[in-house]
């Protein structure tokens, strides 16, 4: 993304996905092992779990039926290890996926 484009985007809240797109922020991996050893950032595995930050309104299918996204803001989701369109805002990395690319919703255990 060019510096001119990134200067236009002031915060993640200003990004409003279109159609069935979903903006997510990957949950950061723990940088310390249980025994207290710190892991360098470049060696951390990218987790496939993300928080949904924004969701588009949906789209109209060929038959005229309106299809709403299956996730909502605040959901925890399982995302594919690769893919999505990366967006950097204020040194924070976000990914933009289509709703159909989201693998699963993660339900909190109670």
User: Which whole number is the average pLDDT over 90-110?
Assistant: 88
Number of compact structural domains in the chain: 1
User: Which whole number is the average pLDDT over 90-102?
Assistant: 90
Burial of 30 (0-12, 13-18, 19+ CB in 10 A): exposed
What pLDDT sits at residue 30? Answer: 63
> Is pLDDT larger for residue 16 or for residue 46?
16
**In-domain check, residue 100:** yes
> Is pLDDT larger for residue 98 or for residue 89?
98
pTM of the model: 0.75
**In-domain check, residue 3:** no
**In-domain check, residue 2:** no
**In-domain check, residue 38:** yes
What pLDDT sits at residue 52? Answer: 95
Per-residue model confidence as pLDDT tens digits over 29-84: 666 667 777 666 665 566 789 999 999 999 998 889 999 999 999 999 999 988 89
CATH number, domain at 50? 2.30.33.40
Residue 7 has pLDDT above 60, yes or no: no
**In-domain check, residue 6:** no
User: Which whole number is the average pLDDT over 90-97?
Assistant: 89
**In-domain check, residue 9:** no
What pLDDT sits at residue 35? Answer: 73
**In-domain check, residue 1:** no
Q: Which of 24, 23, 99, 94 is nearest to 59 (CA)?
A: 99
**In-domain check, residue 39:** yes
Quote the domain boundaries for residue 83. Answer: 18-106
């Amino acid at each position: 993304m060019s510096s001119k484009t990134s200067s236009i985007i002031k915060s993640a809240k200003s990004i409003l996905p279109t159609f069935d797109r979903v903006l997510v922020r990957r949950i950061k991996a723990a940088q310390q092992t249980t025994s207290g050893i710190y892991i360098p950032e470049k060696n951390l595995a990218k987790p496939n779990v993300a928080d949904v930050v924004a969701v588009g309104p949906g789209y109209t299918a060929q038959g005229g039926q309106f299809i709403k996204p299956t996730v909502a803001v605040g959901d925890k989701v399982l995302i594919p290890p690769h893919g999505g369109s990366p967006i950097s805002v204020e040194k924070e990395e976000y990914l933009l996926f289509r709703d159909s690319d989201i693998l699963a919703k993660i339900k909190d255990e109670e």
